[in-house]
Structure 1
Amino acid sequence: MRFSHESAALLHGACLYRQEPDVHTTRPTSSARTSARLPSMVYGGPLTRERPQGQTPGTSQSSSLLRGREVRHRRHTLAVPDSDVTHVYGLPVTTLPRTMADCLLDLPCPDALVIADSLLRIAARPDRFHPGPERQRVRDLLREVSTRIEQASCRRRRLRARRLLPFLSPWAESPGESVLRLALLRAGAPEPVAQHPVQVRGKWYFPDLAWPALCLGVEFDGAVKYADPGTLYQEKLRQEHLAGTGWRLVRVSWNDLRGDDAALTTRLLQCLPPGTAFELTPRAWMR
């Protein structure tokens, strides 16, 4: 048994899109049960109703509320060669390239992109002030991942996984940034540049996503970002400095990402300089 998918990604140090992911393992032969419900634990997150063991939905038996979600042990029948297995904290885990490939092949698109971006960042170690050296590391890793995707001839999301590879970025610094990029790409926006450097008054600013030719940027604002009381003032100055050089910055939160992609795109279009073009080509396959 080897840990794989989200479980392997977590052990490698990657960020995940969802709290309390299922536990994924691989085994070379199939078993009667491909998944098993794990004991409920209170970790935080949204309220969910806990059913007594064996109770089916819709019955009137008593239940209790827990914070968290139902977590399952998911067993994947996959032949994983020894060359695709490493050990992390003494546990057998699929290697970083194999983990990326499995997530791209089997997980929903937001989960897959968040994990793949994060693992790519871990491997490439990009430095926004000294970009360049990470490019070869990115190419090498994506080549390995691509090889494993092509070998997965029976996996139903192989085409989507192959098409996602060019859109991965080691510059995403949080799950929110990855999901934001996915929402914009899915809605058809031209591919943005992540962490594009803009110099203002001797300082460097790096919008999360940008279209430099249009002087248009998008910034993801998570709740943790404003935990420091001084952050709000610094972000206000940052936006004013960028605006002084002709840049327009659109701020996006998790609430915006939970809504319609079209609404987010409309906000972007409203910030375009007059007379500029922003051709939209929706990418429905990113669902």
Structure 2
Amino acid sequence: MASEQELQRLAARQHGLATRSQLTKLGFSRHQIEARVMSHRWRRAAPSVYDVAPGSIDERRALHAAVLSSGGLSSHRSAAALHELIDRPPLKPELVVAGATFPRTLDASVHRSRTIGPKDRTRIDGIDTTSVLRTLLDLGTVVDQMTLSLAVNRAIVTRKTTVLRLLAVVDVGPRMGQRGIGPLRGVLDHFRIDREACESKLESLLDEAVAAQRLPTHRQHRASVAGRRYRMDFAWPDHMVFVEVDGLAEHTERRAFDRDRRRQNDLVAAGWLPLRYTWTDLTQRPDEVVAEIVAVLTTRAR
């Protein structure tokens, strides 16, 4: 006997959708399925996929229906939107399938791949989709470099991945036969250059702001603390105060993040006071930054 309660639970997990095989397992006969479609209680959402809650609104339903129908994964721009790496999904669902078999009447952009491994798969909001790494690799084949660069930066800044992991994907890419290797490698090369340039520019901005106020400072000051040698961007040793500038993608590697926290904790334990400033601080309020530094130095001098 068909189970309505189990159907409701299934539909809740799948954006109001159910496949023919799932309905059969729940006890619905072919005749019952067709009868509900004919009576408009259900509607066909994709080949062998039914919308069993047609009154509700769900913007991801078309994508999920295409994934269920094809047996593939949400990919490329559709996956990038699910991972929140781009702002808008494509007008037509984008999928990747293993091999060449999928419903020919499926209203979706379908990419074929022979290299979909376990690490390439994940699930977001109940939808089977490509992993962040695989998504960025695929994305480079369908978007321009600027869009890919923004997606890579979002993935790193939101800690969905790291530069090291992306570089590892690029290194093994040729063995995977991926066309997206070249675009991703190009973005990563620019990312490294841009990050270094950004950090250098930030230090220059602070240097200019400090010099404009005739505030003497020590650049790249080194101190030995807890048996370790640390370098500080700007320091006032007599006051035990130092300033660090953080780039747009600072500490994108977990080990670098942990190392920086340990370094700062060691310096604080030794009596140093840290001040940190970002690109926004130094480009939008440089005078306030210097005033804050002067105020701290004045307090520490008492």
The TM-score, its normalising length taken from structure 2, stands at: 0.33
Higher helix share: 2
| Highest RCO, 1 vs 2 (Cα 8 Å, sep ≥ 6) | 1
The structure whose Rg is larger is 2
